[in-house]
Chain A
Amino acid sequence: MKNASAQVNITINGKELQVEEGISILFAARQNDIYIPTLCHHPALSEWGGCRLCVVEVDGSPKLAASCVTPVRGGMSIVTDNDRIVESRRTMLEFLFAERNHNCMFCPRSGECELQRLAYELQMDHLTVAFSFKEFPTDVTSRYMAIDHNRCILCGRCIRACQEIAGAQVLGFHHRGPKTMIGMDLKTERSNSTCMDCGVCMQVCPTGAISNRFRSHYAVKGHAPTSEKVESFCSLCGLMCPTDLYAGNNQLIRVDGCLSETAGRPDKGQLCYKGRFQVFQAPAGRLTQPLVRQPDGTWEVATWKDAIQIVAGKMADIQKINSGKALFGITSGMVSNEELILFKELMEKGWSAGYVDTLDGRYFRNLAAVYSKGNGAIAEASWKTIGESDFVLIVGGNPVRTQPLLTSLLRKRNYEENLKLAMVSHIDEQPSFITDYIHVHGHHLADLLRTLAVEAAALRKDNPAAGSKQSKGTATRLSQIGLADKEQGMFTSMARCYAEAKNPLIIIDTAVTGMTDCDCIAPILDLAKLKTAKGQEGQNLLILKPAGNSIGAWRAGIAAPSAPEGKDHLKGGIVLMGEEPALDEDLLGRIHSSEFVAVLTSYALPEWLDRAHVLIPKPMWMEQDGTFMSLDALEKAYRCRTLLPPEGVRPTWESLAAMEESIGMKNRIKSWDELRKKTEEMM
Chain B
Amino acid sequence: MGKPKIATVWLEGCAGCHMSFLDLDEALLDILPLVELTVSPITDFKDFRFPEVELGIIEGGIGNEEQLEIARHLRSKAKIIMTWGDCAVFGGINTLRNWIPQKEVLHRGYVASESTVGGVIPMHAEIPRLLDHVIPVNQAITVDAYIPGCPPSPEVIAYSLTEILKGKIPVLPSEMIHFD
Band of interface residues on B = 20 to 34
Chain A residues with CB below 8 A from B99, complex form: 101, 133, 135, 150
Q: Are B86 and A125 in contact, CB atoms less than 8 angstroms apart?
A: no
Against A, the Cβ 8 Å flags (1 = close, 0 = not) of B124-150 are 000000000101101100010011101
**In the complex, the 9 A-B pairs of residues with the closest C-beta atoms, listed nearest first:** A104-B179, A105-B150, A126-B146, A133-B98, A125-B146, A110-B180, A120-B177, A104-B180, A135-B99
**Distance in Å: Cβ of A93 to nearest Cβ of chain B:** 12
Q: Are B180 and A123 in contact, CB atoms less than 8 angstroms apart?
A: no
Q: Is B158 an interface residue (CB 8 A)?
A: no
Q: Are B136 and A126 in contact, CB atoms less than 8 angstroms apart?
A: yes
Against A, the Cβ 8 Å flags (1 = close, 0 = not) of B169-180 are 001111101111
Chain B residues with CB below 8 A from A123, complex form: 171-174, 177
Against A, the Cβ 8 Å flags (1 = close, 0 = not) of B154-180 are 000000000000000001111101111
Where chain B touches its partner, the secondary structure class is mixed
Q: A103-B93, A131-B98, A133-B99 are in contact. Are A126 and B171 (CB under 8 A)?
A: no
Chain B residues with CB below 8 A from A127, complex form: 90, 136, 138
Q: Are B143 and A110 in contact, CB atoms less than 8 angstroms apart?
A: no
**Distance in Å: Cβ of A491 to nearest Cβ of chain B:** 57
Chain B residues with CB below 8 A from A130, complex form: 135, 139
Q: Are A116 and B139 in contact, CB atoms less than 8 angstroms apart?
A: no
Q: Are A131 and B95 in contact, CB atoms less than 8 angstroms apart?
A: yes
Identify which of residues 88-123 in chain B touch chain A, using a CB-to-CB cut-off of 8 Å: 89-93, 95-96, 98-99
**Distance in Å: Cβ of A297 to nearest Cβ of chain B:** 43
B: which residues have CB within 8 A of A? 83, 86, 89-93, 95-96, 98-99, 133, 135-136, 138-139, 143, 146-148, 150, 171-175, 177-180
Q: Are A119 and B136 in contact, CB atoms less than 8 angstroms apart?
A: no
Q: Are B180 and A223 in contact, CB atoms less than 8 angstroms apart?
A: yes
**Distance in Å: Cβ of B80 to nearest Cβ of chain A:** 15
The listed residue (B93, B139, B177) touching A125 by CB distance below 8 A is B177
Interface size on A, residues (CB 8 A): 27
Chain A residues with CB below 8 A from B174, complex form: 120-121, 123
Identify which of residues 95-111 in chain A touch chain B, using a CB-to-CB cut-off of 8 Å: 97, 101-107, 110-111
Chain A residues with CB below 8 A from B98, complex form: 131, 133
A-B contact pairs, 14 of them (CB 8 A): A103-B96, A105-B86, A106-B93, A110-B179, A116-B179, A120-B174, A123-B172, A125-B171, A126-B89, A126-B136, A126-B143, A133-B98, A133-B133, A223-B180
**Distance in Å: Cβ of A599 to nearest Cβ of chain B:** 44
Q: Are A131 and B91 in contact, CB atoms less than 8 angstroms apart?
A: yes
Most buried by A among B146, B175, B179: B179
Q: Are A104 and B95 in contact, CB atoms less than 8 angstroms apart?
A: no
Q: Are A119 and B139 in contact, CB atoms less than 8 angstroms apart?
A: no
**Distance in Å: Cβ of B107 to nearest Cβ of chain A:** 17
Q: Are B150 and A125 in contact, CB atoms less than 8 angstroms apart?
A: no
How far does the alpha carbon of A105 sit from the alpha carbon of B87 in the complex, in Å? 11
